[in-house]
């Protein structure tokens, strides 16, 4: 029987955007917990080696907007410079004006529209295999959390060793009937909730 290792008394943080999902990491900018759907991981090279950056959709959006604003401001300054040069040397001034307009256009184009569009563009469908793996992972994580809650309750009532034995026997009874471990844990948890 497959069983995730128990983690008694550990409070697993929830995603700030999806309260029904477990968090897998913390955003480096806002320091909030997020699930695997929300947290983007970026690996990039630095002068001293490499670095990893974890960003939630909102912080990613802010960084993209800041970068785009930098291009727009740079384009405005280049246009001002182009106007000054156009007064002295027309061809050079026009060339600088064109560069400034290009920078502004590029910055406007790079500005993120909405968080959802930046994070998960329309038309980008997930493969059925990826969706199935994600659903199975979420079920396993939920079963792990429920198992830990049940084990804590059983340990309070019967002691850790006896409580673990009783819980495993109850789960095993469902798995013998053909349920998966995750389904069995959910049924034991639901039965305990109904007893209250």
User: What is the token pair recorded at 43?
Assistant: 């690996």
pLDDT for res 102: 84
| 151 in Cβ contact with 8 (< 8 Å) | yes
Residue 196: the pLDDT is 59
For 58-71, the pLDDT digits (tens) are: 888 888 888 888 88
Which residue's structure tokens are 């798995």? Answer: 175
Summarised one tens digit per residue, pLDDT across range 130-180 is 767 676 677 777 877 777 777 788 778 778 788 788 888 888 888 888 888
* Confidence class for position 115, pLDDT limits 50, 70, 90: very low
Structure tokens at 150: 């049940």
Among 136, 137, 168, residue whose Cα is nearest residue 150: 168
**Neighbour tally for 164: CB within 10 Å:** 17
- pLDDT tens digit sequence for 118-140: 444 444 455 667 767 676 677 77
Q: What is the pTM of this model?
A: 0.44
Relative to beta strand 40-46, strand 49-55 is antiparallel
């Amino acid at each position: 029987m497959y069983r995730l290792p128990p983690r008694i008394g550990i409070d697993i943080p929830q995603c700030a955007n999806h309260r029904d999902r477990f968090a897998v990491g913390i955003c480096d900018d806002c320091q909030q917990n997020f699930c695997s759907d929300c947290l983007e991981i970026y690996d990039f090279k630095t002068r001293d080696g490499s670095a990893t950056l974890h960003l939630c959709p909102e912080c990613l959006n802010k960084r993209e907007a800041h970068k785009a604003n930098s291009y727009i401001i740079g384009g405005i300054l280049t246009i001002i410079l182009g106007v000054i040069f156009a007064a002295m040397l027309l061809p050079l001034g026009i060339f600088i004006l064109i560069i400034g307009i290009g920078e502004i256009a590029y910055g406007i184009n790079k500005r993120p529209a909405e968080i959802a569009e930046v994070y998960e563009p329309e038309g980008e469908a997930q493969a059925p295999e990826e969706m199935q793996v994600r659903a199975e992972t979420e079920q396993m994580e939920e079963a792990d959390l429920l198992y830990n809650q049940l084990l804590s309750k059983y340990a309070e009532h019967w002691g850790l060793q006896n409580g673990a034995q009783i819980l495993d026997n109850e789960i095993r009874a469902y798995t013998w009937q053909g349920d998966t471990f995750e389904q069995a844990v959910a049924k034991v948890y639901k039965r305990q909730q109904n007893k209250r």
